[in-house]
Amino acid sequence: MKNIVFGSRDQILDWFFRVPERPVLNEGECEKSSIKQIPREIANNVLALKQSAIIDDGGVNYSELREREVYQQFRDWTCVCLQDFNLSVLQTQEEKLAFWINLYNLLTIDAELQYSVKKSVTEGWFGVISFFRRAAYLVGGYRFSLEDIQHGILRANRGVPFFPGKQFTADDPRKAFAVEEFDARIHFALNCAGRSDPPIAYHTPSQINDQLDLAATNFIGGETTLDKSGVVLRISKIFKWYARDFDGRMGMLAFIKKYLPENDLRRKLIENFGKDVMIQFAPFNWRLNVLG
């Protein structure tokens, strides 16, 4: 693992959330030569799992996945060879988004199996935060946890909400691999193994913009509701946690409106009342997204 001098913020958080060893889930030696094909292999793993119905929009069949050859191949080759992958080949925004979103979703699934999560990733000491800091791969010689991928790479180094400071310090070499332009649609493509999370999808650089639009459309369409009176807009708690990413209240309302059908009553409510729309954040269901 390449040397990174972690700042006091990270050291304190690791101590508090009991992640002192900085573990990784892909130890081993890569014997393959086609390391440059890693992004395609990562995407193909997601596609294969969806085509086999191990993953669908309702969740993951974890017990069956553990026995599948595609998972073992991922563990034995793709996962291990991530260690030697040259991250600098990801040049464009589209390449970075597709690669890191696919990898994040696979790491979440892999960590659930490797850590034998039974009911929820919120289990244990400060559960969900500890899980996100502990679950990690060695990629290109650097350790990337779920937290690093989401808040350092995909959120353009904005850092964890409610914690001070950026995810990567100024002298952290991993910062060079982050997306340059933040895209709020990533929130509807990342799956954290909870029942309220967006479904896992297959992402490619050539189609990533259409795929992220579809993810936002489907999630907002399914998770945005009106109360019985028809005057309160009930939305995902993701918007509360990441209000900054949507430029506050007005920004999140504009974002939601954009992804609702033109004559939809929910959209009409936003158009008619603007900033005065009453908002309610729906409870987030962290129960494990188990199929079957």
DSSP letter string, 24-35? -S--S----S-G
**Residue the block writes with tokens 């991928």:** 149
The whole-chain average pLDDT of the chain stands at: 90
Residue 113 pLDDT: 94
Mean pLDDT of 113-142: 84
**The pLDDT of residue 7 is above 70:** no
Annotated domain spans of the chain: 8-197+205-211, 220-281
Predicted confidence band at 5 (pLDDT cuts at 50, 70, 90)?
A: very low
Which region among 52-61, 117-126, 161-170, 183-192 has the lowest average model confidence (pLDDT)? 117-126
Whether the Cβ atoms of residue 109 and residue 71 lie closer than 8 Å to each other:
no
Distance, in Å, from the CA atom of 178 to the CA atom of 150, rounded to the nearest integer, reads 10
**The pLDDT of residue 199 is above 60:** yes
**The pLDDT of residue 180 is above 90:** yes
Predicted confidence band at 121 (pLDDT cuts at 50, 70, 90)?
A: confident
**pTM of this structure:** 0.92
Which region among 21-35, 195-209, 276-290 has the lowest average model confidence (pLDDT)? 21-35
Give the phi and the psi of residue 183 in degrees, each rounded to 5: -130, 110
**The pLDDT of residue 117 is above 50:** yes
| Residue 74: Cβ within 10 Å count | 24
For the stretch 44-95, pLDDT in tens is: 999 999 998 899 988 999 999 999 998 998 998 889 999 999 999 999 999 9
